[in-house]
């Protein structure tokens, strides 16, 4: 498996996987991924099979938001092709996102479906905790979300 930062040209394949993973929860289409990949404040990373970008099997992205000297990171998305789940790919991608935030000593935020146990367990293992419940957050499914936060590295070190 190989990791590299995603490019606008990857948006089509990312949207294909997204459509499978988030059916019923308004998966982002190619145009949205292409727009986000073009932004200077986003960081998206992909996991590929083989040495030559054979096939994208997972993707993850964050946005760096807020003041330049005190940013925060919002997890946009993370997903692994169903046939490759449960083999450590998600953790490798998540390592990249938390590393990006920790480089700025920045807190992280995300939303996750309350019934998404695999994702919640993964986030908790990185120190995320629940801030609030957001009713009917996902549409059209109407599923509830937890808003989760991970403290900045310097605060985690002292707590
Ligand atoms: C969440 C997701 C990205 C995890 O990717 P993955 O490659 O399957 O995960 P990994 O094999 O790297 O496992 C990482 C951690 O996730 C958790 N996890 C994964 N599968 C799990 C399961 N079936 N049950 C409970 N926890 C699970 C564990 O904490 C695991 O760590 P561990 O192996 O050290 O115990 C993947 O399940 C996915 O794409 N889900 C659909 C999309 C999605 O829900 N994205 C998150 C939106 S908020």
- Which residue ranges make up each domain of the chain? 2-158
Q: Percent of the chain at pLDDT above 70?
A: 97
Region label for 78, one of left (φ > 0), alpha (ψ between -120 and 50) or beta (otherwise): beta
> Residue 5: pLDDT above 90?
yes
Cβ contact 123:110 at 8 Å: yes
Cβ contact 97:62 at 8 Å: yes
> Residue 53: its pLDDT value, please?
63
> Residue 63: pLDDT above 80?
yes
> Residue 157: its pLDDT value, please?
84
Looking at the domain that runs over 2-158, which CATH code has it been given?
3.40.630.30
Kindly state the average pLDDT of the residues 110-133. 98
Instruction: Report how far ligand 1's centroid is from the alpha carbon of 77 (Å).
Output: 13
> Residue 10: pLDDT above 90?
yes
Region label for 158, one of left (φ > 0), alpha (ψ between -120 and 50) or beta (otherwise): alpha
> Residue 74: its pLDDT value, please?
98
> Residue 24: its pLDDT value, please?
87
> Residue 77: pLDDT above 80?
yes
159 vs 135, which has greater pLDDT?
A: 135
Ligand 1 pocket mutation pick from 1, 85, 93, 128 by most atoms within 8 angstroms of CB: 85
Kindly state the average pLDDT of the residues 20-40. 96
Site residues for ligand 1, CB cut-off 6 Å:
21, 78-80, 85-91, 112, 116-119, 121-122, 125
Residue nearest to atom 28 of ligand 1 (CA): 122
């Amino acid at each position: 498996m190989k990791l590299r930062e995603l490019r606008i040209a990857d948006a089509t394949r990312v949207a294909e996987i997204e459509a499978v993973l988030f059916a019923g929860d308004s998966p982002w289409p190619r145009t949205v991924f292409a727009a986000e990949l073009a932004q200077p404040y986003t960081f998206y990373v992909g996991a590929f099979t083989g040495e030559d970008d054979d096939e994208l099997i997972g993707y993850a992205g964050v946005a760096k938001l807020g003041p330049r000297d005190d940013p925060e990171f919002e997890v946009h998305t993370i997903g692994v092709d169903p046939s490759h789940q449960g083999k450590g790919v998600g953790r490798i991608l998540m390592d990249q996102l938390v590393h990006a935030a920790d480089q700025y000593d920045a807190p992280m935020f995300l939303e996750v479906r309350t019934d998404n146990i695999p994702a919640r367990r993964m986030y908790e293992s990185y120190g995320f905790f629940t801030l609030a419940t957001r009713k009917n957050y996902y549409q059209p499914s109407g599923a509830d979300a937890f808003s989760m936060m991970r403290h900045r590295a310097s605060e985690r070190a002292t707590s």
